[in-house]
Amino acid sequence: MGNACHAAAVVVVVVLLVDVLLMDVVVVVAGTAPVGRVLVVAVAPVDSTATATGPDAPGAATESGDRGVPTHATTSVEAATAVSMVVIGVRGIGRRLDGGTGAVHSRYHASMGELEGRVAIVTGSTRGIGRGIAERFAAEGARVVVHGRDAAMCAAVAAELPGAIGVAGDIGAAGFADELIDNAVQQLGRLDIVVNNAGVAIDNFITGVTDERWAATLSTNLTGPFSVLRAAVRVMKGGDGGAVLNVISWAGERGNVGQAAYSASKAGLHALTLTGAKELGKFGIRVNSLSPAVPTDMGAQMDEKLQKISASRRPLKMQGLIADVAEAALFLVSDRSRFITGDVLHVDGGLHLN
């Protein structure tokens, strides 16, 4: 009798837990509470010599909304049988909610952030687009490595993001990329996402670009990102793969007057995206480019008149926001884009079409 009560108690606990879990899933995915009662599990008596089956069997699962009452529970085998019924029922609902794909695991975590448990490095993330991306990732559960040249700013931004750390340094300096990756792995335990966002724009006509300016631009915009990618891949390919996002520019795709060095560096960065996608796919590492054109600190010198002119050149006839870019970045590093690599996403209101 004691064993029977114990078995029944286990089953009741399991049923209640599943019921609560399903309610949570429905609130997040479907938004309708009644569906949470679809699965109803009752303990059917198990006879060692015969087993009743079919819809008329005692205690069979129903979709009436009223939980059945077990007639009896005599062995631990019955408890295990009931648990199996629960698992089957949960998977059935998971398949229905997911359109038949059977993606049950993702349903259990429907209320979690898209990047929960992942670690992301975002270079140049103390301000502008980089900071917007870092904040968006953190909001989705990622632990972020904040990077910038100023150590105090890195620490300040990291302090505002849950679980984040700050690592300061010149992205183009020899050896810094390895230091950046090492800090991420040593302090946060893993590395899943890299966003090569740090960049500089030293504008001048071709004849006015000095060797020093050329070298400085390519060091930050191309050599640095390459070094970060190389160091990151050594970690990522031995784990669960990951996502790399290179922030480029329409100037690198079409060229731009007065931006010879900048255009060349961004064109090279996209070429790195294409090569990286081809080489690293076999390790489960996706590499994509993001091409934004929204007002940032780099374009702060533009007055209101120039801002209007800039907006008028776009098919959408408006300026975008850093939040628009951050949302696109989230998409490209999340599982929603798991089948996308070697591509470029423009977030510019159609400016690249001109």
pLDDT at 64 over 60: no
167-181, 268-282, 283-297: which range is least confident on average?
A: 283-297
pLDDT tens for each residue of 99-142: 333 333 333 334 589 999 999 999 999 999 999 999 999 999 99
Q: Is 313 in a helix, a strand, or coil?
A: coil
- Contact (Cβ atoms closer than 8 angstroms) between residue 73 and residue 10: no
Tell me what pLDDT residue 133 has: 98
Per-residue pLDDT, averaged over 232-242, amounts to 93
Domains and CATH numbers, the chain: 2-108 (no CATH), 119-353 (3.40.50.720)
Mean pLDDT is lowest, of 31-45, 187-201, 294-308, for 31-45
Mind listing the pLDDT tens digit for each residue in 186-215?
A: 999 999 999 999 999 988 999 999 999 999
Q: What is the DSSP string of 107-141?
A: HHTTTS-TTTT-EEEETT-SSHHHHHHHHHHHHTT
Predicted confidence at residue 7, as pLDDT, reads 44
Report the percentage of the chain scoring pLDDT > 70. 66
Residue 7 CA to its chain's centroid (Å): 42
Give the model's confidence band at 96: pLDDT under 50 very low, under 70 low, under 90 confident, else very high. Answer: very low
Paired strand residues for 143: 119
User: Is the pLDDT assigned to residue 352 strictly greater than 50?
Assistant: yes
More reliable by pLDDT, 302 or 112: 112
Active site residue 262: yes
CA distance 221 to 263: 10
Reported as a single tens digit per residue, the pLDDT across 310-332 is: 777 877 878 889 999 999 999 99
Q: Which of 137, 176, 250, 262 is catalytic?
A: 262
- Rounded mean pLDDT of 229-247? 95
CA distance 120 to 195: 8
- The residues, any chain, with a CB within 8 Å of residue 254's CB and separated by 6 or more, are 352
Which one is predicted more confidently, 224 or 67? 224
